[in-house]
Structure 1
Amino acid sequence: MIINQFYDTGLAHASYAIIRDAKMIVIDPSRDPQPYYDFAQLHEADIVGVIETHPHADFVSSHLEIHQTTGAIIYCSKLVGAAYPHESFDDGDIIYLADIKLKAINTPGHSPDSICILLEDEDGKEQALFTGDTLFVGDVGRPDLRENAGNITAKKEVLARQMYHSLRDKLMMLPHHVTVYPAHGPGSLCGKNMSPDLDSTIGRELRENYALQIAGEDEFVKVITTDQPFVPHYFGFDVDLNKEGAPAFKQSIGKVTKENVDLEKGVVVIDTRSKEAFAAGHLKGAINLQDGGKFETRLGSIIEPHEKFYLIAATDDALDTVIKKPLK
């Protein structure tokens, strides 16, 4: 059995591939499906399934494109109300990948439709837990992103109470040796206290995760609903887009016009060149947003989802790089 983590530092997003007997399942894939195709080819495996732990707010998933390209079945909770072809995957449901099992655990809290996936190896031993945005290393998912987005909306206080029980009645009851594989690491806006580590164990989280140390439900709700990071403009938009399924990545890139144009008055100009180049001369009113670790998040904090904007870069290659990032 192979478990591989793919990590997008710009969005602090972790996705996963599980391979057993030349069959592969992808969990929470990122916008560009090519790394999963390459990994499957490297290991001479067929992608047979894609699991979405919930409709993501902070990035666009390639689950629909992978299905359209490979025929892989998409699995998600029935609560998502997914508009794309899928099979429901909820408490009691099992996906068999050769002789290993992937079991669904409904864990509402970050969202009403969140699930975690428990992996049992060929000997029936519980080995790994893919936690989506429910449990992070050192933190838990914020409960305030689904008050106005998605198939089911809920107040943050309600979701925080659901999170309390998802953790205590389900995840914290698992064996201490089970490896925890979350969907995000430090820098993600889906939590407020994530560790630099990108995996953990149930035992370690029970010992070290501040949110799992809070004994009372009311106190847990109070702590989890306060001091969360800001919410970028695109979060609700991404939830709804992921619920529908996004168009193919390369197709979306191809729709972007890359040429010198007469700038339309009133449209924001994002200049991605270095601060030295920007200081030496720039278009009036341009915003200097340099490409770097959190470019996508910072851009999404400035630009509304349907708002037009221009991108400027120092070279054609640099422009190609930054064109892809708003599409994530």
Structure 2
Amino acid sequence: MKIEQFEDKGLSHYSYAVLSECENKIVLIDPSRDITPYLSFAKAHDANIIAVIETHPHADFVSGHLELQQVTGAVIYSSKLLGAEYAHQTFDDGDEIVFGKIKLKALNTPGHSPDSISIVLEHDGKDKAVFTGDTLFIGDCGRPDLREQAGNLTAKREELAKLMYHSLRDKLLTLDDVVGVYPAHGAGTLCGKALSEANRSTIGAEKAGNWSLQEISEAEFVRELLADQPFIPKYFAYDVALNKHGAIGLKTALADVPVKKPITLNSKLFIIDARPEADFKKGHLPGSINIQDGGKFETWLGSIIAPEEVFYLVAENEEKLKQLISKTAKIGYEAFIEAAFVVAGGDEQMAELHLAHFAAHPEQYTIVDIRNEAEIKTQPVFRNAIHIPLYELRECLANIPLSKPVVVHCAGGYRSAAGSSIIANALGTKTKVFDLGEAIKNFIS
């Protein structure tokens, strides 16, 4: 028996292959949209993928379960509560998948979502591992506030938080301390708030160190779980619905993206310019937002641009453009790309801030702090700054006064590149807009 973990660092996502070496059969759990790594793993072990299990309809990425079914003939398993619109087998309390010496047992563990399941792996008659989806993480548990308006079943966050309390204690804490814990996400995901950097653990270790498994009352647990959860990106509800239906194959989806600069650009559409901020500031096309390629490109694209909102996508070369289109497809946004093309510059520029003057006279500027609320509470920087988180910026532009030049900052420069470009687009020639960028580090004590 072998457990193989696959990681998508950009989305902090873990998926798994469970291999029966005696029967050369594989069951996949929570696969990414790109099914290539799973097919390669199966080929390397001369094994067949017989099943795919979805622990819940994921909000932060598009799953490849439907394409895997179409390519390999694998059976898709999910909870009956999910309301899946694709051919599937229900997998709930008491249901099992047996292959070789392995038995996979379903546990209904609502909390992150009403339809969440965990999967206990029994080998040679002993429980060896549990795949916890977004229920139990390493050091944390899943957030309960993503399904108030999404999915087949909806529930208020308070109700789901109470369900999470009991799922953890009545289902997962009953497992032996030696049982390995394999979650669907690690540190950096927006599906939880305080995850460890570790990629696996044990029930015993989580009992000792995970706050959500400690001896606290239901009311204390609910209060702590609901406090200071991260923001919810615009694309999350869209991905829940897409995963419930099942996405088209990745190659087919990518082939439909027009990769060519149009003769005429639609001025009503935003251009997502993923080039480095230094290149962007030197010259870019009108209507551009500088969401730089990086570890969290997908998350910020889906936080700034709403589902169904059509946009252009540009990069500095063909190879980078290809990578960006693939990243866009991870969240199902490839369908909204009007066209993707390479750019070397443009007529629009962003002026460079005179740092010495700003440091000496910050009162002469409108300072817009686009960090999240929790960051601002923990580490305030400028006393008179206007606080508008990046994910709300487009909707709150009217809150920015025009009487002074505008300086935008975040915590390190990545978000402020996007934020300053959004504001500059909106304000045009009404006032100057500057990006404080990495220089923010000079002002953080």
TM-score bucket of the superposed structures, by smaller chain = over 0.9
Residue deviations 1:268-300, cap 9 Å, x none? 111111122112211123111111111100110
- What SS does the aligned partner of 1:14 have? strand
User: Partner of 1:243 in structure 2?
Assistant: 244
CA distance in 1, matches of 2:158, 2:129: 29
User: Partner of 2:88 in structure 1?
Assistant: 86
Residue deviations 1:119-174, cap 9 Å, x none? 001x2111000000000000000000000010100000000000000001110111
Q: Is the 8 A contact 1:16 1:29 kept in 2?
A: yes
Aligned sequence identity (%): 58
- What SS does the aligned partner of 1:247 have? coil
User: Partner of 1:114 in structure 2?
Assistant: 116
Amino acid at match of 2:13: H
CA distance in 1, matches of 2:279, 2:238: 33
User: Partner of 1:136 in structure 2?
Assistant: 137
Residue deviations 1:183-223, cap 9 Å, x none? 00011000000000010100010010111125100111111
Q: Which has the higher contact order (CA 8 A, sep 6+)?
A: 1
Amino acid at match of 2:188: G
What are the within-5 Å matches in structure 2 for residues 2-13 of structure 1? 2-13=2-13
Amino acid at match of 2:37: P
What are the within-5 Å matches in structure 2 for residues 97-176 of structure 1? 97-121=99-123, 123-176=124-177
User: Partner of 2:53 in structure 1?
Assistant: 51
CA distance in 1, matches of 2:210, 2:166: 16
Report the Cα offset of residue 26 of structure 1.
0.5
CA distance in 1, matches of 2:106, 2:315: 44
Q: Is the 8 A contact 1:214 1:220 kept in 2?
A: no
Gaps of 5+ in 2: 331-445
Q: Which has the larger radius of gyration?
A: 2
- Runs (4+) of structure 1 moved beyond 6 Å? none
Q: Is the 8 A contact 1:65 1:246 kept in 2?
A: yes
Q: Is the 8 A contact 2:269 2:287 kept in 1?
A: no
Amino acid at match of 1:290: Q
User: Partner of 1:39 in structure 2?
Assistant: 41
What are the within-5 Å matches in structure 2 for residues 1-328 of structure 1? 1-20=1-20, 21-121=23-123, 123-261=124-262, 262-328=264-330
Q: Pairwise CA RMSD of aligned residues?
A: 0.7
CA distance in 1, matches of 2:219, 2:227: 13
CA distance in 1, matches of 2:111, 2:268: 40
- What SS does the aligned partner of 1:241 have? helix
Gaps of 5+ in 1: none
Residue deviations 1:19-70, cap 9 Å, x none? 1021001000001111100110011000000000000000000101100111
CA distance in 2, matches of 1:180, 1:105: 14
CA distance in 2, matches of 1:249, 1:285: 29
TM-score normalised by structure 2 residue count: 0.73
- What SS does the aligned partner of 1:221 have? helix
Amino acid at match of 2:76: I
Amino acid at match of 2:113: S
- What SS does the aligned partner of 1:15 have? strand
Change (3 A) 1:63 1:151: same
Q: Is the 8 A contact 1:273 1:290 kept in 2?
A: yes
CA distance in 2, matches of 1:79, 1:267: 38
- What SS does the aligned partner of 2:173 have? helix
